[in-house]
Structure 1
Amino acid sequence: MLLHPLPLKYQNIYKTTKRGALCMFKKVMLCTDLSPPSELLLQTVETLKQVGLEEVLLVHTIYTAHNPVLEAELLERRTIRLQSQRETLMNKGLVVHTEMAYGIPAPTLTDVAERHEVDAIIVGSHGKGIFKKAALGSVSTEVLHMTSRPILLIRVELNKEDRQSQSFEELFSAPLFCTDFSDTSNVAFTYLEKVVTELKCPVTLLHVQDRSISETYYLQRLEDINRAIIDEMTPLKDKLMSLGAQDVKIEVPFGSPKELILEKVRSSKYSVVLMGSQGKGFIEELLLGSVSYSVVRKSLIPVLMIPSLKS
């Protein structure tokens, strides 16, 4: 049972998830710019299949070139490449649909996701084409602001030999779950429950005590506050252990959320960051300010953001 009761707008989703009727990752939209780095995104389906993925919508966005000959040549090349990626995913036992969407990438991708009612969006945050813009805070960040769907942001790049330098086949092997105890964090926790139920993976639960909030007060009562927060997080640990998690660690550091999250990411101990994208404290800052820019742009591991649900 979650620590804080969910608001009415969340309760139906939570209950259907607990019954198993709702698969959180049954149908995802995978955004591709058809470049070599985008091939890395295809690897994520191996893990997502283990948590219920059945169907993939493979989407590529393009602008019109206003040149009939050039448009025809570009469309032919891109169609061939898109079909190649489709076959790769189909060979993994998935139902795969493709769509060429014309328009400005972020709003176009958001509209396609809503129209097809996907359970999550997968988008790259580094590379060529639209991913280069995403690395600078454009496409991926804009989609994060616009969408009502969970979004998995993955930094994709090639090494100097033009080969794939990363692997995301074990996406949920060691999740880092960041919580601020908000309703949105509770919703994000249901996704973690699903992952642990299926994969029995070890988990780290993280709550950052933001030193910018009345630092003197915190320092005077830091030990008491740490104890209270750990007590608050213990039921979450117990729940995950009951679902079969290999191990669950609780960490309550004191300091700068941005710096501490990136420090955790750089430690190479974790495979994905999972958190709510709106809430209170540092998670609200994550969506709106410097923490968002830093984590999404600098994280070498995927970041799965679960947005707040609209009324």
Structure 2
Amino acid sequence: MFKRVLIASDLSHVSDAIIGCMDNLKTLEIKEVVLFYALGFKEKDEVSEIVRQQIKPDLERQQELLKKEGFNVTLELANGIPSEEIKRICKEKNISIVVLGSHGSSAFTHQLFRLGGVASEILNSHEKPLLFLRIKGDESGFQAATGNLKEKILFATDFSDISMYAFEYLEELVKDGAKNITLMHVQDKGRISGHLDHKLEEFNHIDNERLMLRKERLERLGATNIEIKIPFGIPAQEIINEAHQGYSLIVMGSQGRGYFANVFIGSVSYKVARNSDVSVLLVPEKFRELN
């Protein structure tokens, strides 16, 4: 399913935790890993070369850890800006998915997400799926809270075209053995309250029918325990609250209904990826290669 993965390392304890849990991700059919680090220099000069030589041993250490897990690993030490270099490497190496670490509800701890606008740039322009692995711990020690990502999956949809692209990935996960799925659509309180309250029952009926069709598709592929949930509230918060119920992975489109490129930083998918207690797979509109 995800044959070639890019791990964006920042040489932190969080990155080590991601690498330490990669054995669990073999259930996603990962065969090859590109271990990536961006120096952040706009131009190659003597300073960037000194930094390159200083950090290379640590990257090679992480590379060896991945090799011991049985992965074919290549090292990509890029000179430029992280968001730009990630896009370039993804195209050149035909990357299937980009893996990053997230830590708790306060913030992303990965260095890429401590660089201000870089977070917005990556999330707003990514063309390949992003997998945010949930990392637990503090500076004294980190570990990934990731077992089998296919154990119990929450699929959140707004019925947009982008969420349908994400559903295709959910189907692949079911083909690969996922059995326990919750299909969830949140009736947006901000859109409905005040002038469409009288339509809520009708909306629920229509959306339940939509989810039932998706349930039937997943059952034909082998899923055996599928729930449908249509709560009323604030979408991001409802998804995050539901995620507390023992899920291993959230799958959703990375932009949905009402998306505008310049305001993605405040979108539902960004909020869920930032604040969820479990790992999140975000699938962008442009990416539909499943093999």
TM normalised by structure 1 equals 0.80
Where does residue 240 of structure 1 map in the other structure?
Answer: 218
Cα distance in 2 between the residues matched to 1:286 and 1:204: 28
- Asked if 1:199 is matched to 2:199, the reply is no
Structure 1 residues 249 and 129, CA gap change in structure 2 (3 angstroms): closer
1-structure distance, mates of 2:48, 2:94: 33
- From 142, 148, 153, the counterpart of 2:127: 148
Query: Residue type of the partner of 1:131?
Result: H
Task: Indicate whether 1:95 and 2:72 are aligned.
Answer: yes
CA contact (8 A) 1:179 1:185 kept: yes
1:253 and 2:247 aligned? no
Q: 1:298 to 1:106 in 2, by over 3 A?
A: same
Which stretch has the larger CA shift, 185-194 or 129-138?
129-138
More strand by percentage: 2
2:9 is aligned to 32
Aligned counterpart, 2:203: 225
CA deviation map 1:201-226 (0-9, x unaligned)? 31111101112223245421322321
CA-CA distance at 1:93 after TM superposition: 1.8
1:75 maps to 52
Q: Which residue of 2 aligns with 1:11?
A: none
Deviations 1:111-150 (A, max 9, x none): 2112212111112245999824515764344212122111
The equivalent residue for 1:262 is 240
Q: 1:272 aligns with which of 249, 264, 284?
A: 249
- 1:115 aligned onto 2:97: no
SS at match of 1:225: helix
Distance, in Å, in 2 between the alignment partners of 1:274 and 1:286 is 21
Which secondary structure does the structure 2 equivalent of 1:240 belong to?
helix
Mapped pair 1:53 → 2:36: no
Displacement of 1:167 in angstroms is: 2.5
> Which residue of 2 is the match for residue 309 of structure 1?
286
Q: 1:176 Cα deviation (Å)?
A: 1.0
The amino acid that maps onto 1:302 is: S
Distance 1:310-1:167 versus aligned 2 partners, 3 A rule: closer
Contact 1:180 1:281 in 2 (8 A): no
Question: What is the CA deviation profile of residues 206-252 of structure 1, one whole-angstrom value per residue up to 9, with x for unaligned ones?
Answer: 10111222324542132232122111111211121222224111110
Instruction: Tell me the SS of whatever aligns to 1:153.
Output: strand
Q: Unpaired segments of 5 or more residues in structure 1?
A: 1-23
Letter in 2 for 1:308: E
CA 1:273 to 1:159, structure 2 compared with 1: closer, same or farther past 3 Å?
Answer: same
Identical counterparts, % of pairs: 32
- Is it true that 1:139 corresponds to 2:118 in the alignment? yes
Q: Secondary structure at the match of 1:200?
A: coil
Does residue 1:106 correspond to 2:83, yes or no? Answer: yes
What's the CA shift string for 1:12-36, capped at 9, x where partnerless? xxxxxxxxxxxx3111111001112
| 1:200 Cα deviation from its structure 2 partner | 2.8
Counterpart in the other structure of 2:153: 175
Report what 1:295 is aligned to. Answer: 272
Matched residue, 2:188: 210
Distance in 2, matches of 1:189 and 1:137, equals 31
Per-residue CA distance 1:36-92 (angstroms, 9 max, x = gap): 2112222453343223211111101114599848953x4344222111211221222
Structure 2 segments unaligned to the other structure (5+ residues): none
Query: 2 CA distance for matches of 1:164 and 1:134?
Result: 17
The 1:177–1:262 alpha-carbon spacing in structure 2 relative to 1, beyond 3 Å, is same
Q: State the distance in 2 between where 1:295 and 1:224 align.
A: 27
Over aligned residue pairs, what C-alpha RMSD do you find?
Answer: 3.1
TM-score after normalising by structure 2 = 0.85
